Amino acid sequence: MSTQRPFKPVLFVIACLWSAGWCEIDYASKRRELVNDKLRKAGIKDPQVIAAMLKVPRHELVPKNLRQHAYLDRPLPIGEDQTISQPYIVAYMTEQLKLKGDERVLEIGTGSGYQAAVLAEIAKEVYTIEIVKKLGERAKRDLTRLGYKNIHFFIGDGYRGWPKKAPFDAIIITAAPNHIPQPLVDQLAVGGRMILPVGDRWQELILVTRDKDGVKKEKLIGVRFVPMTGEAEKK
């Protein structure tokens, strides 16, 4: 009799237990490890950003079969050729917006809803646009289930922003156009800040600020995001 046969059922049972969610994981501890061992050491300092990263349950916003990887500092696939962003990049981009708590923020690219949730922990109101209907609807269900009431959702092309709700104190784009969309610059309030990746295969994060004298642009760090689709591709 083969000595390998008894092990097959055992492996099958373990796999079933894992897929059924019977393997207990202390997600709160995993979040603390991520924040303390990765984000703080990488330079994230804003207390409100740290608090948001400690609170938002990233594992609730990824596919169930990837939840054990939710608090690794890396992007993960969420379907439709899209990803949930690396936690460090989410924290870094949020920190660059310098939110105080009373802002109205526009996000282009809802995706999993993770960035929107982090923003909603700090800002007064978050308006988020997703071009992929399936992702936008799933994010709305998930964030509603998690109790977020200050996030407003729209399914559509975010290139021209959300004019009826403008101006915004901050704008964040989580997909990469190869240029800075002018309609979004136009919707940025005086004193506002916008951050976005710009480029093709590899991009740079650009910080756009508006003051009474006009608009300024600053290059920050190199990144890699999925491309911005829709009208952005035609420009």
Sequence-ordered list of residues with C-beta below 8 angstroms from that of 33, at least 6 positions apart, any chain: 71
Q: What are the angstrom distances between the C-alpha of 135 and each of 52, 75, 141, 176?
A: 22, 16, 10, 17
Query: Which residues, listed in sequence order, are joined to residue 207 by a DSSP beta bridge?
Result: 195, 218
The pLDDT of residue 234 is: 85
CA 115 centroid distance within chain: 3
The pLDDT of residue 23 is: 56
Domain-located, residue 20: no
The two three-digit tokens of residue 40, written as one number: 């703080």
Domain extent at residue 74 = 25-234
Q: Whose CA is closest to 118, among 183, 185, 180, 46?
A: 46
Distance CA 78, CA 165 (A): 28
Taking the whole predicted model, whether its pTM rises above 0.85 is answered as yes
The pLDDT of residue 235 is: 74
**Three-state SS letters, 50-74:** HHHHHHCCHHHHCCHHHHHHCCCCC
Provide the number of structural domains found in the chain: 1
Q: What are the angstrom distances between the C-alpha of 161 and each of 87, 138, 157, 211?
A: 25, 21, 8, 20
Q: Is residue 85 flagged as an active site residue?
A: yes
Distance CA 98, CA 95 (A): 6
Domain-located, residue 69: yes
The pLDDT of residue 233 is: 87
- Ranges of beta strands (E only) in the chain are 76-79, 82-84, 104-108, 125-130, 151-155, 168-173, 188-199, 203-211, 214-223
Domain-located, residue 108: yes
Domain-located, residue 15: no
| List 2, 19, 29, 85, catalytic entry | 85
Domain-located, residue 8: no
The parts of the chain modelled with pLDDT lower than 50 are: 1-22
Q: Which residues of 89-126 are buried (b: 16+ CB within 10 A; e: fewer)?
A: bbbbbbbbbebeeebbbbbbbbbbbbbbbbbbbbbebb
Distance CA 232, CA 97 (A): 23
The two three-digit tokens of residue 37, written as one number: 């061992």
Domain-located, residue 54: yes
The two three-digit tokens of residue 48, written as one number: 């409100």
- CATH code, domain carrying 165: 3.40.50.150
Domain-located, residue 5: no
Distance CA 133, CA 128 (A): 13
